[in-house]
Amino acid sequence: MVKSNNSIQSDLGKAKGLGSAHTGTHHWLMQRVTAVASVPLVFWVVYSIFKLQGADYAAFTTWLASPVNAVLSILFVLNSFYHAMLGNQVIIEDYISCRWFRMTKLIGMKLFFIALGVACIFSILKISFAGGM
Amino acid sequence: MSEPSQVKQRPLSPHLQVYRLPMTAKMSISHRITGVILTAGLVLLAIWVIAAGLGEDRYNQVMELIDTPYTKYIFVVWAFVLFYHMGNGFRHVLWDIGFGLNEKSAQRTGTLVLLFAAVMTYGVWQLSCGCYKGWFIKAAPMTEEVRAQQGAG
């Protein structure tokens, strides 16, 4: 049996897939990058929600159809959904010890965010290209 | 000498139910809790946008559900949660850079985060609950008008 020289991991450990997945740093880094990127977007979103409270359909779609608002909305959706997905992933991994439930929850959570994000972006583009009304 | 009493009162290793959490620990778990609350807020925002994409009827249906007299208060609470998470997240990034990694700094930056969240929430409260008569005076009456129209129609 050929054993890698630069690893102290046992063969059984390797076969069971234990140890680092070598993707943790990317997760950590992306969480920070999306966090920093969310700062200006969040200020814009809070201001926008404040301005749009009680807006009717015409007011809301006209607002969303403007290129600046549409682009910032899509950026906010991509950035915050990604950030939320990473954050929820850590919480699930930390608090759910039952393996099959943890896996199911992780995959379900990620698919949920992807589906919701795609639906949001589709809505924004539809309203934007339809020109408001 | 004191052995019998020691046997009776064995020292317990501190665990969550017997340990009074210091402020920094409370803020740490609050970061996660606020994160989960913000996820729920994100879903609400998504419902708003998706409803608009589905057309005017669906949008009005959803708005009828969302637009209650309490909505603006929920918005203010949500804003506090949001700015807390933002401030504490900034604190986390500072720690990652290597700044403020001792007890005294952690206490101080923690207090600053709470202050930041409180000040920002006060601002949002003033703006959205009608106490402030400034640049946004046009936006505030519009809410009442729309609500009146919905009530009439």
Distance from CA of B15 to the nearest CA of A (A): 16
Task: Note whether residue A71 is domain-resident.
Answer: yes
Number of domains in chain A: 1
Q: Which residue from A46, A51, A87 is facing B124, i.e. has the nearest CB?
A: A46
Distance from CA of B103 to the nearest CA of A (A): 23
- B28-81: per-residue pLDDT in tens? 999 999 999 999 999 999 999 999 999 999 999 988 888 777 887 888 899 999
What pLDDT is stored for residue A70 in this prediction?
96
Chain A residues in contact with chain B using a Cβ-Cβ cutoff of 8 Å? 32, 35-36, 38-39, 42, 45-46, 49-51, 53-57, 60-61, 64, 73, 77, 80-81, 84, 87-88, 91, 116-117, 119-120, 122-124, 126-127
Task: Note whether residue A52 is domain-resident.
Answer: yes
Query: Does the pLDDT at position B153 exceed 60?
Result: no
What pLDDT is stored for residue B25 in this prediction?
92
Q: How many CB pairs under 8 A join A and B?
A: 89
Range of the domain at A85: 39-130
Lookup: tokens for B45: 């925002």
Mean pLDDT of the region B81-101: 95
Instruction: Please indicate whether, in this complex, the C-beta atoms of A123 and B53 are within 8 angstroms of each other.
Output: yes
Q: How far apart are the first and last CA of chain B?
A: 85
The set of residues, in sequence order, having a beta carbon less than 8 Å from that of A89 and lying 6+ positions away, is: A27, A106, A109, A110
Which residue of chain A is at minimal alpha-carbon distance from B147?
A: A54
- CATH code, domain with A93: 1.20.1300
Mutate to test the interface with A, among B28, B32, B39, B90 (most CBs of A within 10 A): B39
What pLDDT is stored for residue B14 in this prediction?
75
Task: Note whether residue A12 is domain-resident.
Answer: no
DSSP states of A113-124: HHHHHHHHHHHH
Lookup: tokens for A56: 């009717």
Instruction: Please indicate whether, in this complex, the C-beta atoms of B54 and A123 are within 8 angstroms of each other.
Output: yes
Task: Note whether residue A20 is domain-resident.
Answer: no
In whole angstroms, give the CA distance from residue A21 to residue A125.
37
Lowest pLDDT segment from A7-16, A44-53, B52-61, B116-125 = A7-16
Give the count of beta carbons closer than 10 Å to the beta carbon of residue A74: 16
- B97-126: per-residue pLDDT in tens? 999 999 999 999 999 999 999 999 998 888
Mean pLDDT of the region A55-60: 89
Which residue of chain A is at minimal alpha-carbon distance from B29?
A: A91
Residue B123 forms contact with A (CB below 8 Å): no
3-state secondary structure of B19: coil
Mutate to test the interface with A, among B45, B67, B94 (most CBs of A within 10 A): B45
Instruction: Please indicate whether, in this complex, the C-beta atoms of A50 and B36 are within 8 angstroms of each other.
Output: no
How many alpha carbons lie under 13 Å from residue A121 in its C-beta half-sphere? 14
Give the count of beta carbons closer than 10 Å to the beta carbon of residue A40: 12
Distance from CA of B67 to the nearest CA of A (A): 7
Task: Note whether residue A46 is domain-resident.
Answer: yes
pTM: 0.81
Angle at B68 between CA B64 and CA B69, to 5 degrees: 150
Which residue of chain A is at minimal alpha-carbon distance from B139?
A: A51
Task: Note whether residue A7 is domain-resident.
Answer: no
Lookup: tokens for A78: 């991509």
The set of residues, in sequence order, having a beta carbon less than 8 Å from that of A62 and lying 6+ positions away, is: A132, A133
- A76-104: per-residue pLDDT in tens? 999 999 999 999 999 999 999 999 999 99
Query: Does the pLDDT at position A73 exceed 60?
Result: yes
Task: Note whether residue A120 is domain-resident.
Answer: yes
Task: Note whether residue A23 is domain-resident.
Answer: no
Instruction: Please indicate whether, in this complex, the C-beta atoms of A36 and B96 are within 8 angstroms of each other.
Output: no
If one compares B102 and A8, the residue with the highest pLDDT of the two is: B102
Q: For chain B, what is the radius of gyration of the CA atoms?
A: 23
**Under a CB-based contact definition with an 8 Å cutoff, are residues A37 and B90 in contact?**
no
